[in-house]
Structure 1
């Protein structure tokens, strides 16, 4: 069950967890950028960023990734005309201004050399002030492009977030009123003026670009119209698709639930309730594994070792040492366990808790421990599989799985077309169907019978009287206690300990086990369980380091940038 929960948590985390956790809590409430185009083709930029901090901070950051054949120079930062310290790390500028829970307004200035691209007819400023590497949302962004002198001959175009946000003033100043700009998005701006306004700039290429810009504008408009048409179509068909998938999911769950209840009722009619573990041909470790929903833990290893003692294949030699009596066991996994514990961890058929402690403290043995543990675990699982306690239901599961995968392209289309409500519903349905395909394995009649008998034992064990317990065979008592250890049932373990203290001296007269065997068995069981738990923790302990490499340059010409804080 623990493994299943971890898998579910992992699947949901893909959609729900943020990619990066920021140490500083802030928002960028307003950003204004003014770009002044110069006659020599350089661009002087002045930016003003308003930050609202809700925690302690040391400063802000601004990433500026220049396009090819351009350069960012003369970067400076101010607050109320007071110069601030700046530290540059490649394309990242760190502006130092510490404080706590306040609003600040920072002014930045820098020059983009060769920012204007000059052609025979036009000079264009085609620039990405941010790109998909930006990790912060600008709550309100305004960009103003100023020509070297007033003019009426202006071409303007915005891409992605900047599309159809521009307006042109009478003097040729272009305003991109972009409003909220989410993190991880592009928004290139493109403004072109008559080439005569840049007499000192170097010619980039001996050709005209007016027709190219107009063609781009026409193409973007056509793409936008097609986008809106697809958006309208998706918004109309989404309710039907999502409703159909929801009905399909509910039908799968209801049919599975009805079949499960039907099997439970059949088992209740045909089975006798008792305080003994089921005798269905399964070994005790396999029964425990089945009840634990195939989740293996160190408690299962402890239970398997104690079961070897119960069955007489291993005998106790003192309080923490065990010796093999016979390797002619009933199940393959019992042979594997004996080989692992008594010949690899221990020596010559003897195993002690001290051997386990010494073995797992040596890091060179960790890989072998994992390998041997996995080999034994798979052997126990194989016994469960061979007893056909689950129905495979391959057709139903494969169909649900394929449907869940087919929803993914639909989810992507909904997200691309900003239909986020239907996208969220579709994500839920896709994950639900995928989990159904992974985990749906209805139990057979035999499987239900075993589970119901174990459930009856667990729920009624606390009610057992001392007389009833003394009348039980010692072997059944030990099986119940081993079952409690393997399943982690603390209430059964406490009841066993209580009954053992009041054990009648004659209650085990007909058994190969003596009264003191049960009492000693109870004592060593706790030590064995603790030692295997410690061993598992020692071997499984790992350390991990993670880091991130800032991305960028997804804007036009390989440029881009973003903002942040530290």
Structure 2
């Protein structure tokens, strides 16, 4: 249950936290773009940006990706008519202007060579001033298109974010009042004027464009009408679809809860019949792994070595030396551990902590160390798996997993049609079903009983008196100490150490460990754990990588804004 809660919290944080943490905290409050179409087909553009910065900054950026057969030239930047330094890197322009906690207004100007395409009937300016690669939101954007001269023949069209934002005034100036434009969106603008306004253009397409624009306009209107119809339908059926999946999830959770309660009751009943510290059905390393199934570290290796001493397979020969006295072990992982530590790292059945240092000091041994470690750990895990302490429930989990997949297209449709409340609810249901399918492996009575025994031990061990603990069998005392070492629980380990210190010389002589050697034994366990952890850190390495993207406007063009 704890794992499910943590995973839920992690996935939820992915939705509520920003996807990208920007190096500079800023907002683009106001954006105004004027495009002046020239008689020769060029377009002179002026842009004005108002930024608000929170913290230090070095300037702003503007990405301009030209369309095919066009070119961006004469890019300049000003603040209050004062020229600013511009650094160009391909399509990225960095305008240098340092400051801190400030609102600034920057003016940009540039020319789009061959920005106007002329046909036999009309000439059009079809341009993406930004595209989906843009990572900043424009909180208020206005784009104006100015013809060379006023004319009555004007066709205008906006796509995506620019759709139905366009108007034209008596002087044929077209205004796209786009308002807030979110990052990662497209918004191409398209304006066509009478071709006679561009007499200096020499390259003329020998075809007409008016009918294409009108057809595109009709197509967009039809798409918008179909979109509204689909949205209305989805809005109607969404509550019913969500309700069905919610009921399905509720039934699953109720049945899982009921089954867990029944299993808990039976596990508690059987635990009451056994007063021993831990079940004899698994080895102590397997019990430790079962209770703490995260990536194994030096704690588990140290505990496993100490357990070999407890069971009489290994003896402590000195302050930091161990000797194999019996190779006929009960479990495969015990045999593997002996071969690894005493014959691979150590020599002829002898093992010391210095052997680890010298072995790891040779880099050629690193790959062998990893292989031996993985082989040993897989054997420990195999012992746990053979006990079938959890039910796989493959049929149920596959059914739930498929149902969660079936909900994904519906969730996407809700988002595409701006039904965000229902989309959010659907995402939560989808994740809940997916998590159930991935994580639902209820413990058997045996598995839950073992878990309860160790949990009870961990919660009550700290309050046990020295007198009560001294009444335990020596074997149970050692199990308690080794378990505290293997789990890395400092509270349990400190308690064990304080209890061992209270023993008198007449009370303990166990497995060749004399009472006056107990404190050395405790100290040695700490040294072993540190040594094995250091060895694991040395031989295991990790690496990471990344990706990047680009523009997606009409004709390969596009752009965006930012800061640095």
**CA separation of 1:404 and 1:369: change in aligned 2, threshold 3 A:** farther
Q: Structure 2, unaligned stretches of length 5 or more?
A: none
Corresponding residue of 1:562: 560
Deviation of 1:4 (Å): 7.6
Deviation of 1:517 (Å): 5.0
1:552–1:559: 8 Å Cα contact kept in structure 2? no
**CA separation of 1:287 and 1:510: change in aligned 2, threshold 3 A:** closer
2:119–2:195: 8 Å Cα contact kept in structure 1? yes
Corresponding residue of 2:164: 164
Corresponding residue of 1:290: 290
**Aligned CA-pair RMSD:** 2.3
Corresponding residue of 1:22: 22
**Which stretch of the first structure deviates more once superposed, 369-378 or 6-15?**
6-15
**CA separation of 1:202 and 1:349: change in aligned 2, threshold 3 A:** farther
Corresponding residue of 2:478: 478
Alignment of 1:446-525 (within 5 A): 446-508=446-508, 513-516=513-516, 518-525=518-525
1:131–1:552: 8 Å Cα contact kept in structure 2? no
1:337 matched to 2:331: no
Please state whether the residue corresponding to 2:272 is helix, strand or coil: coil
Deviation of 1:8 (Å): 5.8
2:270–2:449: 8 Å Cα contact kept in structure 1? no
Deviation of 1:465 (Å): 3.0
2:316–2:512: 8 Å Cα contact kept in structure 1? no
Counting matched residue pairs gives: 564
1:166–1:174: 8 Å Cα contact kept in structure 2? yes
Corresponding residue of 1:245: 245
1:280–1:450: 8 Å Cα contact kept in structure 2? no
**Which stretch of the first structure deviates more once superposed, 84-93 or 393-402?**
393-402
**Which stretch of the first structure deviates more once superposed, 130-139 or 312-321?**
312-321
Cα distance in structure 2, aligned partners of 1:11 and 1:326: 50
Deviation of 1:12 (Å): 4.9
Please state whether the residue corresponding to 1:463 is helix, strand or coil: coil
Please state whether the residue corresponding to 1:271 is helix, strand or coil: helix
**Which stretch of the first structure deviates more once superposed, 368-377 or 490-499?**
368-377
Cα distance in structure 2, aligned partners of 1:341 and 1:406: 51
1:31 matched to 2:16: no
Please state whether the residue corresponding to 2:133 is helix, strand or coil: coil
Corresponding residue of 2:150: 150
Corresponding residue of 1:217: 217
**Which stretch of the first structure deviates more once superposed, 217-226 or 326-335?**
326-335
Corresponding residue of 1:401: 401
**Which stretch of the first structure deviates more once superposed, 23-32 or 339-348?**
339-348
Q: Structure 1, unaligned stretches of length 5 or more?
A: none
Please state whether the residue corresponding to 2:129 is helix, strand or coil: coil
Corresponding residue of 2:57: 57
Please state whether the residue corresponding to 2:176 is helix, strand or coil: strand
Cα distance in structure 2, aligned partners of 1:261 and 1:456: 17
Q: Deviations over 1:420-464 (max 9, x none)?
A: 222222222222222222221111111121112212222222333
Deviation of 1:416 (Å): 1.3
**CA separation of 1:511 and 1:356: change in aligned 2, threshold 3 A:** closer
Alignment of 1:376-395 (within 5 A): 376-395=376-395
Alignment of 1:62-461 (within 5 A): 62-272=62-272, 276-293=276-293, 296-461=296-461
1:274–1:457: 8 Å Cα contact kept in structure 2? no
Q: Deviations over 1:267-320 (max 9, x none)?
A: 223333776432342011111111124653332122111111211222223222
| TM-score when normalising by structure 2 | 0.94
Deviation of 1:548 (Å): 5.5
Deviation of 1:13 (Å): 6.2
Cα distance in structure 1, aligned partners of 2:157 and 2:264: 68
**CA separation of 1:511 and 1:303: change in aligned 2, threshold 3 A:** closer
Please state whether the residue corresponding to 2:462 is helix, strand or coil: helix
| TM-score when normalising by structure 1 | 0.94
**CA separation of 1:87 and 1:198: change in aligned 2, threshold 3 A:** same
Q: Deviations over 1:450-502 (max 9, x none)?
A: 11221222222233333332232222211111111112232322222122112
1:79–1:107: 8 Å Cα contact kept in structure 2? yes
Cα distance in structure 1, aligned partners of 2:140 and 2:302: 62
Please state whether the residue corresponding to 1:467 is helix, strand or coil: helix
